[in-house]
Amino acid sequence: MNPDKPDPAVAAESGVRPAGPVPPGDGARLASGPGDDRPAVSPIDHEHADVSGGWLRAATFGAMDGLVTNIGLIAGVGGAGVSAHTVVLTGVAGLVAGAISMGLGEYASVRTANEQIEAEVAKERRELRHNPAAEAAELAQRWIDRGISPDLARQLADDLSTQPAEALRMHVREELGIDPDSKPSPWTAAISSFVCFSIGALIPLLSYLFGSESLWLALAIGGLGLFVVGALTARFTRRRWWSAGLRQLLLGAAAAGATYLIGAAIGVNTA
């Protein structure tokens, strides 16, 4: 045995870790400073998903809207007894119009929301520049109301006021409940919504495009698409996949049932 290298067994009994790098995944605990008797803290071994990019909501909404919209359209015109060619024409028109509408709508809504955030940030910047003492007192009071001791809250607010950029971010977070550095991208939202709506709207048309004229087969494929997309969202929300899929399937079925009954009623009345 190397006399200069401590015996791991002895080190384990004494509570002293042998010198050298900590192996990954060893569950090492962060060392405290000299004289610090607080318990050591284990390092964080998890990561959070990006919730500020704006793509997940737009993609999910686009895919679900595309599926439900075209399932409803196909059920409605199919229930009226029109030809398969008319069903396909209706579905394609719904796909194109809906995808463009969704993309433009997402871009405009996210862009407008971002512009409103920028206006509020500019307002807060002016207030910090013209009346920093009052803003610091307001921030300290918010922390006091949350249970932080008054002396500590005022000290933190005063220290923060010496860093204008960080002070602005903190005031915006506390007063508006938003992070000015994490605004969603309107282009990301628009493209995600456009593409996912198109894919969702295409699914219930697949059987018709491959030569089938069965309305029920098209609706079954659309229902399967709803279930799959709902189940996929569970990967991001940590819900049970079958529960998320079933929820979307039931919502889509309700929409298809309503439009089918309307189409059947109009078709009978105009025959």
Q: Is the Cβ–Cβ distance between 74 and 201 less than 8 Å?
A: no
Quick: pLDDT tens for 37-64: 666 666 655 554 554 446 888 998 999 9
DSSP 3-state assignment of 145? helix
Quick: pLDDT tens for 122-167: 999 999 999 999 999 999 999 999 999 999 999 999 999 999 999 9
Measured from the Cβ of residue 12, the count of other Cβ atoms closer than 10 Å reads: 11
The CA distance from 225 to 71, in Å, is 10
Quick: pLDDT tens for 193-212: 999 999 999 999 999 999 99
What's the longest Cα–Cα distance across the chain?
100
The CA distance from 245 to 225, in Å, is 9
Quick: pLDDT tens for 237-259: 788 999 999 999 999 999 999 99
Quick: pLDDT tens for 219-235: 999 999 999 999 998 88
Domain boundaries, the chain: 56-270
Question: At residue 15, does pLDDT exceed 60?
Answer: no
Give the dihedral of Cα atoms 38, 24, 46, 169; nearest 10 deg.
70
The rounded percent of the chain whose pLDDT value lies above 70 is 79
